[in-house]
Amino acid sequence: MPDLRPEAVTRLAAHLERLPGVGPRTARALVEHLLVVDEGEVDALAQALADLRGAVCHCSRCFLLTESDPCPVCSDPGRDHGVILVVEEPTTAWAVEATHQFNGVFHALLGHLSPLHGVGPEDLTIDALIDRVRSSEVREVILATDPTVEGETTALYIARRLKDLPVQISRPASGIPVGGELAAVDRLTLAMALESRREV
């Protein structure tokens, strides 16, 4: 008998191990914790997990994650529906919203172009974005894809698709993070920050 762990224990540990950042030791420690805490707490966690994917869907308009379709942003008359901020993932929109600096609406691409991984324009929500711009009074599209090769490529591709429509297209500024040290910033960011320097 090499292992006294009940099967329910090893099964849960195996599932936890598949989570990012959770190794065998952490998985074991988590299960041992869950074996001793209040049973109601474990059931509540199980229920919250079971609810997650059932309760949450993509907004049919902007593809953010939402429990109601259209999402609270798309159905809010107080937001400026003339400005669309395009992000790769819905979670990026959450980060933008936390800045309290953006009152427009969003569009989540659900990824980025990546020919190497077989991700083409038809795998993203780009056509839906073009339709949105074409069919409603959109003044500006902010292409806030990630500052990676794939993100830049995706932004360029969308900009090209939009170029014949009467809409302003922009990218967030690249530069030195606020509170960051100049010496600690990578060379590419530093170069872009210098190139985009502003008169004071």
The residues that touch its own copies, with contacts defined as CB under 8 A, are 1-9, 11-12, 15-16, 18-21, 26, 29-35, 39, 41-53, 55-56, 64-67, 71-73, 76, 89-91, 93-94, 97-98, 100
Supply the minimum distance, in Å, between the C-beta of residue 131 and its own copies.
Answer: 22
Closer CB to its own copies, 4 or 184, in the complex:
4
Radius of gyration of the chain (CA): 22
Supply the minimum distance, in Å, between the C-beta of residue 59 and its own copies.
Answer: 10
Closer CB to its own copies, 90 or 162, in the complex:
90
Supply the minimum distance, in Å, between the C-beta of residue 166 and its own copies.
Answer: 29
Q: What single string gives the DSSP state of each residue in the chain?
A: ------HHHHHHHHHHHTSTT--HHHHHHHHHHHHHS-HHHHHHHHHHHHHHHHH-EE-TTT--EESSSS-TTTT-TTS-TTEEEEESSHHHHHHHHHTT---SEEEE-SS--BGGGTB-GGGTTHHHHHHHHHHTT--EEEE---SSHHHHHHHHHHHHHHTTSS-EEE-PPP-PPTT--GGGS-HHHHHHHHHT----
Supply the minimum distance, in Å, between the C-beta of residue 144 and its own copies.
Answer: 14
Closer CB to its own copies, 52 or 191, in the complex:
52
Closer CB to its own copies, 63 or 162, in the complex:
63
Supply the minimum distance, in Å, between the C-beta of residue 29 and its own copies.
Answer: 7
Closer CB to its own copies, 49 or 116, in the complex:
49
